[in-house]
Structures are given as C-alpha cells and as structure tokens.
Structure 1
Amino acid sequence: MKRFSKYAALGSLVVLIAVMAAATVVEKMMNTSYVAQCVYGSFWFVALWMWCVAWSLVYGWLVRRTLRWPVVMLHAAWVVILCGAFLTHVWGRRGTLHLREGQPVSVYADGRGHSTKMPFTLVLERFSVSYYPGTQAPMDYKSRLRLTEADRQSFSGEVSMNHVWRHRGYRFYQSGYDADGRGAVLLVAYDPWGIGVSYAGYALLWLSWLVLLCNGAGRFRRLLRHPWLRRGVACVALLYVTVAQVSAGSRSASSDLPRTLPREVAADFGRLYVLYNDRVCPLQTLARQFTLKLCGADSWRGLTAEQVLTGWMFYYSSWSREPMIRIRGRAVRKQLGLEGKYACLLDFLDSTGRMRLPEPYANADVARAAEQYNLLPMLYSGRLLRIFPVCKAGRLVWVGQNDVLPSGLSVGERVFIQKSVNYLQELAFAHDYQAMRMLLDKMRRYQQQRGEDSLPTEAAFEAERLYNTLDHTLPWALVTLGAGLVFFVVSVSRFAAGRQPVRRATLLAGGAVAAVGLYLTLMLVLRGWVSGHWPLSSGYETMQFLSWASLLLGLVLQRRFFLSFPLSLLVAGLSLLVSAMGESQPQLTPLMPVLASPLLSLHVVTVMLSFALLAFLMFNGVAACVVARRRGWHSESVARLTLVGRLMLFPALALLSVGIFVGAMWANVSWGTYWSWDPKEVWALITLLVYALPLHVRSLPAFRRHSVWQVYMVLAFLTVLATYFGVNFLLGGMHSYA
C-alpha cells in the first residue's frame, strides 16, 4: 500500500505537470477561453488534483512516524491552498459592471454574458482620472460609488487602481471607463470562502518555510553545519578588466563629419526640459533615444547624442546625406538599394520624392525602418520637441512651437514660443554660439517659471543626466560574461585536478564582483529615483535586478562555496546580455496605475532572487558533470558540489513560494482574481513542483545519487527558461514583457 500510494501520488503529479505544460501551448494555438473551459475548468482536471492530494495524504499517513512537524506543516499548507482554490472554483463568481453617472444598477454580467442580480443597488456618483503633473499619462482612476440596500440603508465608497471596495462578500475593482469620462467599468467578484482559505494557506506555507529553514534539527541546518562548508573553499582567479564604452553602431571618426553644434553648446541644449513619453525629463534623454533609434548607439562617429539631435535640427542638408540610419533585414536594404547596413535619409526617397516603403508594411523590419524615417518629420514639425509649458483649460500642458496655443497667452509669450527655435537656427548658421547659450538659458528659466509641479527636482534632473552618461549595458555584459566563462572553466579545471586556488586571484575575483555589483547598484538606484518607482516593471529592469541579485549572492556564498564568484559572474553576464539584446535601452516611462503596488515589487524581487539561486544550481550541475568525467561521480569533489546544491535548493524554493503567492495576492487586489491560469503563472507553478521533487530524498532515493541530482538540476532549469523567456517571447499572456 505504501509503495502504491507513493507512485500514485508521484504519477499523478507528473501527469499534472505535463498537462499544464501542454495547456500553455494549446492556449497559444487556440485561445484562452478554450483551455479555461476544456482544461483548467474541466471536471477531469479538478479530479486529477484531488487524486494527487488524496494519495499524497494516504502516503503521508503511512510514513507519518518519519516526518518532522515542519514538513507536515509545509504539506498541510499545500492542502489548504488547494482547498481554497476548490472553494473558489465551486462558489466563486466574477463579472463586469458598467455604470453611468447617476444611473442605479443592480445587475452585472458574468463571464458568459448572463445577467446576475446583486442584493443591493450601485450608483456612480463621479468618475475621475488623475494624471502625472503636466502630462497625459494617467496616474490613477477613481470611481466614487453610493450603495443602497433593500432597506434603503446607504453606504458610500471609492474604487481605484489597487484599492478594492468590499461589501457583503462582494469585491469591486476599477477596470475601465467610458470615453466621455462619465462612465466606469468595474470588475465584480464574489468569493465568500475561497480567498480566506487560500490566504490562510499562503500564510501557513510561508510560516512552514521559515520554521523549516530555522529548525536546528532540520535537514537544511544539518547541511549548513557540514564540516566541508564550515571550512569553506576559496574561489579561483578572475581577471578584472576595466570597462570601456562600446558603441555598437559607430564607425571611426573622419574629417567629413556632418555639421553640428560644438559639444558644450549641444550640452546646454540637452539641459532643457522636454515632455517625452508622458514624462518631463532632460532633453538629453530625448536626444539619446533619438540617436539610439536611428543608429543603434547613443553616439555617432564621436558626436554626442545632443550633437546628433541638434545637427538634424539645424543642418538638415548636411545630415540628410549622412548614412547613419541602421537598417535591419536584407529585404529592406534591398528595397532601399543599400549595399551596407546604414542608410541616409535620401535613400528612403525615390526620384520623385515619394517614400520607397509604402504602407501597409510587409513585416516588422519594414515597419521599423519606416518608424526611423518618420522620426525625422516629427522633429522638424516640432511634435517631438514639446518644450514649452503653458496653461490650457485649467491644466498645465507642454507644447511645441507649431502647436495650437491657448488664447489667454500674452503676445510676447506667444512670440517667444513660436520663434525661439527658429532664432536658435539663425544663431547656429551665424556661428553666434554665445548668443545661443544665452537664449537656451532664457528658455530654461522660462520652463522653470511656468513648469510648476510638472518639473522633476533639480537633484532628479541631474540624476537622470548621470544615468544617461553611465548607462552602457552591452560592454559591461560582455566583460562580465567573458570573465565568468574564463574563470568558471579555470576554477572547475583546478578543482577537478585537486589543486588549491591562489589567494591573490580570489581577492581580484571578489573585487571584480564588487565592482560590477556597485555599478549595477548605482544604475538601479538612479533608474528608480528618476522613474519614481522600483525598477522592476519591465523585462529590461528585471534582468538588471537578476544580474545584481546574482552578484550579491556570489558575495554572500563565497566563504562556503568555491564557485560562487564564477557562477555569479556567469549569471550576471547572461542577464545583462539578455537585457542589452532586447529593445535598445528601454525608455523610462510613468508607472501604469495597476503596477503601483508594493506587493508587485516584493513579488518580482523574491522570484528574481529564486531564479538567481536556481541558475547557480544549474551551473553547479554543469561543473559537477565536468568534474565527474575526470574524477568520477563518487569523488569527494562531486560530493562537495552536490552538498552545496542541496543547501541552495531550500532558500531557492522558499523564495519562489513566497514570490508566487505574493504575486497571487497582488493579482487579487489588482485584477480581482488570485489565480487565472495565465501561462506565466502555470510555468511558475511547474517550476516550483519540478524543483520540489529532489527535496523528497527519502521517498525518491534516486536523488541521493550525485549523478541523478546534478543532471536533474541542469535539466530542471529548462522550466525557469520557459517561465521567463518562453512566456515573454513565445507563449504570451498578461505577464509577457515582450
């Protein structure tokens, strides 16, 4: 009976993992509603979970004498979580409620479009949108509601993003609004039992992990007291290379540079404020993004981004013949008649002056090239340079020189806005740079006087300029990854040969990890300061944080794990490379209202820390496989690596558990459901279940063998890759960053 129950539980768990993985692929091929109905919401899927839980309980009862109470708590937490999910599945209801100001409503539409009556009436008293100062970027959406019971008892409340209103088991979430601003769409959720039970399960799970990691008689603390770890093994040599700026698209400077302003005058132009991407920032930021968009680098032939932007503004005839627009795709280059990778502006036009890339665009490469071309008319028309703050209809807005100005402006102010840029151009032609700098200073003082609360503080302004100067991810990624690869090979080779590391090399390795870590710390702090939120809201930012976390773990683990420095450099380098190989330097934008939650930040931090530890486990497994080829799987060297891997798996799973279910709590506050079977949620659960299996060494004795453990750790990392990259770039979903 014991043997049957064990394999029944294990077999059903493996089937569940396979079904969930297949469902994410089917969802991509079919649609979300299909898998929600035929898989996740089906009777057989619920029955499969119940079968797995039932046989797990039977097996747990049969081996109860061998289980410690923290382990019992941990498994009981999972039972409670699944019970909560079952209660939500059976009794939970969700739908949408459309309200218009002053009109009472007592029914909402459920997921199937059927009307469901509520035991009270709701009236929308007022809907409002608050914006980031001086921009059109929404900061929050608020619905002021009045609720009336059948006995005429009345209540008032407010619903906004990440702020739920609760009444008699009903929960109301802000979801959308009407175009005229006089109506709101709310999500309605009724789940009297499931949420409370699920949250109790989450709390029990986190408490269980805390007790498990702190229990002196537990396996984690016994591993931590192992004499091999107490002695510690130092890390091997690592060459520290000073990072130099690399410009991917730049070519060697020559004497035929296009005309532009002197560096210091262009720098003064970059100190103006501009409304860009719905935020007020230094014009230097716009210049940098402009240059990156055109040539793929933040400089061109030794010219700064500000010189490139002002060159296009004031010396069009010179720059229109400069082949600096980087074109991707051979088909586009052929269509433009190019021999190399770079085009000039005139290459986009035929002999009659018409655009050579007519709509509709054939593919993404053509659309990207057309976007690069269209960026230049936006600059000439003034639509790109919204540098003048004015008061319009009672709100502060930023306009360009050719925009329609409010009627209340004085004649002098109107002339100043419409003629300043033209006068700058006249001064540029006359080479009167001193007068240009004086006019730029006057324009900046005008911005500071009129900009009011929309301007960043002077400290934040300078912080963003510093960030723009230091933000060079690709060279740091290449150096970090190269160093990690070299010293991973060297360290594993020395360890396999039984040779000790050199103390001086260890110190240099630690210095390199610290140097890269300090750089990333500075960049994350600056990016968070400038954006006004934790820098964890995009794929680029999460990869940067993962790189930083891996370096921090390398420093923490160094005394107990000889491969910590090489592995931390490898993980950090790969993470930086991924962030650099995506879209060129993702732009800083105001945070979407739904993402402005501390729960989201905690969710991302804990998950990224767990991924860093799981990446360590993968590279540790690779090292063990290399050492085993030379010294055998039963050697002490492999045993040491396995010991470290078993130790790291505990905090990795604890962090992943916290991260997943903190994310569920955030989703419940923001979206009205704590688990929606989104592809990333599914793959995160699969990752947790796959990595949980090796902890069951008593039930699954195969994991006591070093070879099985290490090979499994290498292959299990595929689930991490699927969770992050597979969902982002292949499967899609609400969590996709792509």
Structure 2
Amino acid sequence: MKISSVLFSFKTTLILLAILAIGAGYATFIENDFGTSSARVLVYNNIWYETILVLTTINLAGIIFKYKMWKNTPRFIFHLSFVVILIGAGVTRYVGYEGIMQIKEGTTENRMISLEPYLQVTIKDGDKKYFKEYQMEFAALSENSDFAISVEKFYNNFDHTIAFGENEVNVLYKNYFLAKKGNAKMGMLTLDVTINGETQEIKLPGRRSQKGLERDLQFGDVTVSLEYGSKVLTLPFAIKLNDFQLDRYPGSMSPSSYASEVTVIKEDSDTYDYRIFMNKTMHEGNFLFFQSSYFPDETGTVLSVNNDPGKWPTYLGYFLLTLGLCLNFFDKKSRFRKLTKYVDSKSIASIAAACIFAFSATSLKAEETDAQFKAKAQETIQYLKTFKEESAETAKNFARLVTQSSSGRMKPVSSLNREIVQKLSGSTEFLGMNADQVVLGMLSRPEIWRDVKMIKIKTPKLKNFLGVDKSRKHIAFSEVFKDGKYLLAKESEKASLSKPNERGTYERDIIKIDERLNITYAVFNGSLFNVFPKVETAEEINNAKIKHRWYTPMDAMNDFEGRNKTAVEAMTRGLINSIIQNKWTDANNFISMMATYQEKVGSKVVLSQAEIDNEIMFNEIDIFPKVMLAYIFLGIIILIAAFFVVFNPSIKPKKTTFVFFVLLSLIFAVHTYGMGFRWIISGHAPWSDTYETLLYISWSAVFAGIMFFRKSLLALSAAVIVAGIFMFTAHLTGIDPQITNLVPVLKSYWLTIHVSILTASYGFFALAAILGFMTLIMFIFRTNRPHIDETIKHVTAIIEIALIVGLAAITIGNFLGGIWANESWGRYWGWDPKETWAYVSIVMYVIVVHLRFVKPLSTPFIFATASLLSFSTILMTYFGVNFYLAGMHSYATGDPLPIPTWVYYVVSLIVITIALAYKNRHLKPLVKN
C-alpha cells in the first residue's frame, strides 16, 4: 500500500480531525484545573499536536490535488482557504510574539514584558558577566499527582550546561508545581544549580505574562542569578501616554469605555498622535497595540502588544473561506444544490388538525391565608383588598419614574418592579396586583407586607426547618425571624461556603431564599430605587470618578444639602404618607413633582418620555413567554400530525401543511418584532448575554424551518420544538432576562456581525439534532414498512442541508470573530475555552458532513446518530464553557456546578433510542456523492 494512498485518504482526514477535536477539548479542562501554561505545554504548543496540524494540512492539500478540486471553483477555494489559514497560523506561532506594556500618564516608554516565559541565567565571575536565556514553559500541575509525575517525566525535563571562563554551570530541572495563595495560582520552579561539584537548590516563582523574581546563588566568588517569567523587550520606537480616559456608566463604577491618548515617537520619522481604545487598535509596523486594562488608581494604561507577521496570510485565508462557502450555495454541482433539489422533489404531507392557542400570561397565585392567618390578619386582608382596588392609577404613575441601576443603566421604575416581583414570587403579578402595585405597597406599608406570604420556597426540607406546611409555595418575610434572630443565618452561611458542585437542592434553595429576603428588605427601606439625581457643579462632575450618580431616598436625605435636601424629604415623606392615608390625588401630585425634579436635575441622563413609553409597553406585552408557549403547543401538534402521516402514507393533505406554515410564520413574526423591540430599548443587538442569545437561537431555528424546510412537517415540527426548548431554557429562574449595559469590548459593530452569524448556526444544528432523533425513532419502526424508508431518506437530506448551512455559518462567524478579536485585543486566536470549543464544534461537524466519503460510514443511521450526538459540542460551547470553564468569553468563574438531573434522563433516552434503532440500521445512502 502506497503511503500517499493512506495519507491522502478521507479516512485519514476523519482520524486527524477527530484527534484535533478531542485534544483541544481535553486541553480546556487542563487549562481550567492547572492553568494556561499546562494546556499549552501538553496540547496546543506540543509537538504531537503541531504534528497533527501539519499532517492535516498535508492531507488536505493532497486531497485537493488528488480529486482535482480546482475544476470546481467554490469547492477549491474554501478547501484551499484552510491550507492558507494553517500556514498563516504557523507563521504567527513561530515568528510572532506578544507582550504587555504599562505606561504611567505623562511618561514615555519603549519597553514591554513578553507574554512568553523565559528562564534567564546571569553568571558573575569577578569583572566578567555571562548571560544565557531559554524560552520555556511548564505544565503547572498539582504536586505529587500521578498525572504530574507523568508530565515531569515526559515534558518538563531539561538539563543545560553553560560555559563561563574555564568553568561550567549546570542547571538541572527538578520540579514545577502549582502553588495556591488564596484564589491566586503561581507556578513554582525548582532547579538544581551545580558548579565544580557543588550543587544548590533554588525555587523560582514565575509564570506566563508576569515578570519573575531574580534570585541569587553564591558559589565562592561566582554569583549565579536566575529568574523565571516574562522578560523585558525593547521596541524600536517609544510611546508617550498623554492622557488616560475612563468613562463610566452614569452613577456606576462599571466602565463604559476607556482610551489612551498617546504619541508615537520614532527616530527616523515624524512622531504622530493616536487614540487607542476598545475595538480601535493602533498599528505601527508589524506591532499592534490595543487597550487591555488600566492602573487601579487610573493614572496609567496597560496596552497589550502583538507582533504578528502571519496576520495577512490568515486574513487572506478568512476571505477565501467566506468567498468559497458563499459561492458553494450557488454552485449547481455542489452537494447543497443536489440535496435541495432532492428535497424539493419530495414532500411529507400532513393531516388536517385544529390549532387553537391563546397568548395569555399565567399568574402565580400565592395561597392567601390559612386558618391561623385569617384569624390574626383580617385587617391585612382588608388592606390588600382596598389597596388592590384603589392603587392602580398611582402605581402606573410611579412606574413611569426613572431609576438608575447599579451598573448605570437608566430605566423606568416599571422594569425594576417587574424584576423584583419576579424574583420574589416567581411571577410578575401577585394576589391579582401587577408588579408596580406590589412594590408600591411594600415601599409604603412594610409593616403589613412583611407578613404577606410572597417569597417563593421549594424544598420540603427547608419548609420543615422553618416549620411551615409542606404544601405551601410561599413564605412571609416575618416567618424567617424569631425573637429578632434570623433563623437561616447558620444554614445560609454553611450553604454559601460549600462548593457549587456539592450543593444539593436544599442548599441552593437556602441561597435563593437568602437572596430574596435581602431583596425584600431592600425594597422595604427603598435602597434599590436610585430615583434622585444630585445637583452637581461642573468642578464636581469633572473630578468625580462616578459621574451623574442618582441616589436612593434615604441616601439623598442624608447626603443632599439645602433646598435639594428639603425638596427630597418633602416629596418622599409626602408620597409615603399620602399612600398610607389613601390620598391618591396627593400621591399622584408628589410623583409628578419627583418626575419634574428628575427631568430638571438629571437632564444629562434621564430617559425621554418616548423611551419610558417604549420600555413600559415592552414590559406589559411580555412577548417572549407567550411566544414560548405558542411554539411548544404548535410544535407538539405539528409533530403528532407529521408522525401520523409517516405511518399513514396514503394521507397527503397539502393545504393543511400550508396552514401550519402560516401559523408558524405569524408566531415567528411576533418573535421577530419582540427581538427588534428589545434592540430599540437596549440600544444594542439583542444577542449580548445568555438570555438574549437563547432567544436568538430560537429565532434562527424557526427561520431555518420556514425558509428552507417549509414543505416538511417533520422539519417544521423540529424547528418549532427547538425554538420552544431554547425559549423555555431562557425563562428558567437561573437566567436573568433584564436588559443590561454592554461591557466596553462589546461596543462594536462586530457584535452584530460575528455573534449573529455564529449564534444563528446553533439553530440549524439544533434542528438537525432533533431531526436526527426523529429519524432514529423511525428506524425503530421501519420493519416491514417500506414507506418509512423514503421518509428517512428525505429527512436525512434535510438534516444534511441544515448541517451544511450551519457549518458554513459557524465557520464564517468564528473566523469573523477572529478578526474582531484582532481588532479588540490584538490577536485573532488565543485558545480561550469558548474559542476552542467553537473550533471543536466546527471540526466535529466537518467530520459529520464528510462521513459519506467513507463507505462503511455512509448510511442514514450513522449520519442521524452523528448529527444528534455532535450537538453536544454546541451545548458545551454555549453552556458548558459558561458554567464549567473559566475564560474571556465565560459568564461564570469555571467552578463546576451540579449537572441537572434531567440531563441524565435525556442522555439515557438518547442512548436507549440509538440502541433500539441499531437493529434496523441497514439502509442505503439517499443521494450519491
């Protein structure tokens, strides 16, 4: 057998890609547990991984030549692009370098410290001085573990001999382990240094991207100085920091943006001024300077520096990739066009079915009283009844006031009220009152509301601990206090100190109850409502770190002076007293005074009436929970209809298919309207956080269904079910739906481009996964049912189309993200866990769509199974990285959280389904290569 036939085969391609994906995925867990250096040493920069990358490049180039891909322009372009990208990455890896430059305001600097660590050895022998350095990085593992011992043996060993004069110094590696100091981790390198038979041990603390500490050893008259860590590099030019500028969101310490006004000083040419800020990188030769951070006292800037000669080959590869993938959709000879032609020639019919659903918000009704409560609190019941009937207008006016969040976002009080009541009770309505009424009541009569059972509680064990009936769903604020003592003090402390992955439902419920109690108390004393701006002089505004800050009523009464203090006291006390006395006209007048005060004193940041109207309307129509219910109900109905037709092939009512399509299109239009409405209110594209991206994935799944697969009821039902699942996930209690400000790096048009394309691919992959599961179900029942085989082939074609579109989107989106990264922080790839798992996802789906080139794997059963199982990489990219791994893209710290019980049930169901379908797996491919 010729080497070329093995090296340039598709089997080899799939094996190489699988190794790349598994290696990179495993490296993210190594990085999370043992640090970035360990992942780089063991995987990313290791010779074995680089060898696989080189072999993959050779394999791909050989296949391009073997199959004469240049005869098909789109196919040739996007396959060639990967070769170009890998070459560019190789140039960056072996020629480029990175570093960090710190400059104090008003000073000039031409030095930076390297990102890569070095072992630096300086030998002083009398008047003579010898210097030697070695670029090396170690896997910083826990001491004495079996894994650490293996690494010590194969990767961390070195033995260097340095000649000086007539003598030699030997530097021998002894060990390197991860030392923990509080929450910080520091690598500790231990060396044996020998001169003329005398050996001394030395420990050097150091790690990547941080300058090490120099330590000396004395051998008679010879001094050996050693240092491990980043080294100082000198640039061919200097940079002077003229001014560092930090802008924060109004009333907040949260940065809105920060920038450095610098002057570049060069010897051989004129100097020039430049402004560096997030998403605005400074280019000087091959050097890129980007705003990374700043001094804690805000007197200086921290710039990350990148010298990358591989940038333009990589960018050329990105361009060719995008061009080739886009042209592929229009190529008449492409696999995509063959599949779409096949799908268009078939159709899965449907049966007539009534589809009646209503958009209605459900209200969680708390148990109002038990026998004991009725006896003790008749007055409270009467108050609640009267307040419910008479407070509506005043609560509506109160909701139109503007408040400032802790992160600096200006929003109507209406939004804050909904967040509070949702958090406390699990619903935006309570006892028949809307959130505005509930919060207004809590503010004005805390002595009554402290006894109202409105704080959601779940676990029977916690109910038993508090001595409340197990059937109850809510408790009162007063029920967790006895004789002035907080009953959950010890339990709450114990739960908070436990590791996240060791917390059971009891501990998690305690933590949530504790949070709700704190929120309740904060509402009672008004400390959540920053509604009073302060009259500030121009000098105060210029000198203050926090600008345009708004204050709570209590803080305003304590901090304000003169007439402002008097006005705030009069308005606050007047409003509360009027509500207590049921003088609703007076209460409305005081609210009107507060609104006027906000508009006059806080004019720089206060919302316009149109902005208030829009956000309140958005809150009231509450689109997304209703769309979620509609998707779930309609998806179930279409699914039942579709499977009915699968097992009854004689039924082909095309009109009903059209009816379902129209209904789904209407719901999709409402969903689209809601996304656009949220965009207008937030001021940025609605896919910047977990909640918004879940909504967008749902949107993209339905978009795929109605645009590409509207003739297939199974595909439509899968699209709607995917949308319903993701929207249901978005509305779980652990995911915060509130609109927030963007962090500085996300303030870029790249947010709209990169995230929208990348996240849209998740919808296509989810659709393919659900259809893959449906296909496996059909495999279970295909015995003696030939008509099911045609349905399987048809659905498999739809799955492949979805995967091709999804793969193109995730690939283009990921590499566009690389360009954004290069513009934002000066490098387009850094093996961040989120980046890495997106890469793993791409590789896995490349494997899936190329299974057809390996004959034993080219079957609908294997393809359906692979399309289902591969979705786990998307789930890891989206959820797993956020909650189990730490990184620049993560929403969490990397501390492992307990895996929900339902995940085990879902995995078990999938395994059982695959096992049952396996016996009927033999079915020929649908469309030839």
Fold match by TM threshold 0.5: yes
Cα drift, residue 717 of structure 1: 2.0
Between 627-636 and 667-676, report the one with greater CA deviation.
627-636
Cα drift, residue 308 of structure 1: 1.2
2:163 equivalent in structure 1: none
Give the alignment partner of residue 549 of structure 2, picking from 377, 394, 397.
397
2:17 equivalent in structure 1: 13
Letter of the 1:172 counterpart: F
Alpha-carbon distance in structure 2 between the residues aligned to 1:729 and 1:85? 29
- Structure ranking higher in strand proportion: 2
Q: Does structure 1 residue 324 correspond to structure 2 residue 328?
A: no
Q: Does structure 1 residue 481 correspond to structure 2 residue 632?
A: yes
Cα drift, residue 65 of structure 1: 7.2
Cα drift, residue 67 of structure 1: 6.2
Cα drift, residue 317 of structure 1: 1.6
Alpha-carbon distance in structure 1 between the residues aligned to 2:644 and 2:613? 47
Give the alignment partner of residue 729 of structure 2, picking from 553, 569, 578.
578
Give the alignment partner of residue 292 of structure 1, picking from 394, 418, 422.
422
Alpha-carbon distance in structure 2 between the residues aligned to 1:240 and 1:90? 63
Letter of the 2:449 counterpart: W
The answer as to whether partners of 1:314 and 1:428 remain within 8 angstroms in 2 is: yes
- Structure ranking higher in helix proportion: 1
Q: Does structure 1 residue 344 correspond to structure 2 residue 476?
A: yes
Q: Secondary structure at the match of 2:262?
A: strand
Task: Give me the identity figure in percent.
Answer: 25
Alpha-carbon deviations, 1:136-189, whole Å to 9, x = none? 543210111112123584221111111111112111111112233221111111
Change over 3 Å in CA distance of 1:27–1:365 after alignment to 2: farther
Give the alignment partner of residue 281 of structure 2, picking from 156, 159, 164.
164
TM (normalized to structure 1)? 0.93
Between 701-710 and 58-67, report the one with greater CA deviation.
58-67
2:339 equivalent in structure 1: 223
1:460 equivalent in structure 2: 611
Q: Secondary structure at the match of 2:742?
A: coil
The answer as to whether partners of 2:64 and 2:79 remain within 8 angstroms in 1 is: no
Alpha-carbon deviations, 1:595-621, whole Å to 9, x = none? 111212212211222221122222222
Alpha-carbon distance in structure 2 between the residues aligned to 1:211 and 1:306? 54
Change over 3 Å in CA distance of 1:179–1:730 after alignment to 2: closer
Cα drift, residue 123 of structure 1: 1.6
2:192 equivalent in structure 1: none
2:565 equivalent in structure 1: 414
1:246 equivalent in structure 2: 362
The answer as to whether partners of 2:260 and 2:276 remain within 8 angstroms in 1 is: yes
Q: Does structure 1 residue 362 correspond to structure 2 residue 495?
A: yes
Q: Does structure 1 residue 604 correspond to structure 2 residue 755?
A: yes
The answer as to whether partners of 1:122 and 1:147 remain within 8 angstroms in 2 is: yes
Letter of the 2:273 counterpart: S
Cα drift, residue 235 of structure 1: 5.1
Q: Does structure 1 residue 275 correspond to structure 2 residue 404?
A: yes
1:385 equivalent in structure 2: 529
Alpha-carbon deviations, 1:532-587, whole Å to 9, x = none? 10111111100101112222222212444343321221111011011011535422
Letter of the 2:329 counterpart: L
Between 411-420 and 41-50, report the one with greater CA deviation.
411-420
1:310 equivalent in structure 2: 440
Between 509-518 and 169-178, report the one with greater CA deviation.
509-518
The answer as to whether partners of 1:238 and 1:483 remain within 8 angstroms in 2 is: no
The answer as to whether partners of 1:555 and 1:564 remain within 8 angstroms in 2 is: no
Alpha-carbon distance in structure 2 between the residues aligned to 1:558 and 1:43? 45
Alpha-carbon deviations, 1:20-75, whole Å to 9, x = none? 22222333333333112221122221112112222333344333379633222221
The answer as to whether partners of 2:60 and 2:83 remain within 8 angstroms in 1 is: no
Cα drift, residue 518 of structure 1: 2.5
Change over 3 Å in CA distance of 1:727–1:240 after alignment to 2: farther
Change over 3 Å in CA distance of 1:289–1:668 after alignment to 2: same
The answer as to whether partners of 1:245 and 1:475 remain within 8 angstroms in 2 is: yes
Alpha-carbon deviations, 1:312-363, whole Å to 9, x = none? 1111121111121113555654554443442211123231345642574523
The answer as to whether partners of 1:240 and 1:512 remain within 8 angstroms in 2 is: no
Give the alignment partner of residue 326 of structure 2, picking from 188, 207, 210.
210
Alpha-carbon distance in structure 1 between the residues aligned to 2:560 and 2:424? 38
Q: Secondary structure at the match of 2:792?
A: helix
The answer as to whether partners of 2:349 and 2:645 remain within 8 angstroms in 1 is: no
- Spell out the pairing of 1:83-162 with structure 2 (5 A cutoff): 83-111=87-115, 112=117, 113-133=230-250, 136-151=253-268, 153-162=270-279
Letter of the 1:21 counterpart: G
Letter of the 1:343 counterpart: I
Change over 3 Å in CA distance of 1:64–1:79 after alignment to 2: same
Change over 3 Å in CA distance of 1:527–1:600 after alignment to 2: same
Letter of the 2:234 counterpart: K
Cα drift, residue 249 of structure 1: 6.5
TM (normalized to structure 2)? 0.75
Alpha-carbon distance in structure 2 between the residues aligned to 1:66 and 1:104? 53
Alpha-carbon distance in structure 1 between the residues aligned to 2:436 and 2:560? 33
2:813 equivalent in structure 1: 659
Alpha-carbon distance in structure 1 between the residues aligned to 2:560 and 2:339? 75
Q: Does structure 1 residue 526 correspond to structure 2 residue 677?
A: yes
Alpha-carbon distance in structure 2 between the residues aligned to 1:435 and 1:669? 56
1:190 equivalent in structure 2: 307
Alpha-carbon distance in structure 2 between the residues aligned to 1:634 and 1:726? 36
Letter of the 1:262 counterpart: S
The answer as to whether partners of 1:335 and 1:356 remain within 8 angstroms in 2 is: no
Q: Which has the higher contact order (CA 8 A, sep 6+)?
A: 1
Q: Secondary structure at the match of 2:870?
A: helix
Between 330-339 and 156-165, report the one with greater CA deviation.
330-339
Letter of the 2:528 counterpart: L
Between 591-600 and 363-372, report the one with greater CA deviation.
363-372
Alpha-carbon distance in structure 2 between the residues aligned to 1:650 and 1:354? 58
1:264 equivalent in structure 2: 393
Between 721-730 and 279-288, report the one with greater CA deviation.
721-730
Alpha-carbon distance in structure 1 between the residues aligned to 2:850 and 2:716? 29
1:53 equivalent in structure 2: 57
2:128 equivalent in structure 1: none
Q: Does structure 1 residue 491 correspond to structure 2 residue 491?
A: no
Alpha-carbon distance in structure 2 between the residues aligned to 1:598 and 1:238? 44
Long gaps (5+) in structure 2: 118-229, 497-507, 542-546, 893-929
Alpha-carbon distance in structure 1 between the residues aligned to 2:813 and 2:402? 39
- Spell out the pairing of 1:583-732 with structure 2 (5 A cutoff): 583=734, 585-628=736-779, 629-630=781-782, 631=785, 635-696=789-850, 699-732=853-886
Alpha-carbon distance in structure 1 between the residues aligned to 2:411 and 2:850? 54
Between 21-30 and 575-584, report the one with greater CA deviation.
21-30
Aligned-residue Cα RMSD (Å) equals 2.7
2:574 equivalent in structure 1: 423
Q: Does structure 1 residue 62 correspond to structure 2 residue 66?
A: yes
The answer as to whether partners of 1:496 and 1:637 remain within 8 angstroms in 2 is: no
Long gaps (5+) in structure 1: none
The count of residues paired between Structure 1 and Structure 2 equals 735
Query: Which of structures 1 and 2 has the bigger CA Rg?
Result: 2
Alpha-carbon distance in structure 1 between the residues aligned to 2:47 and 2:107? 40
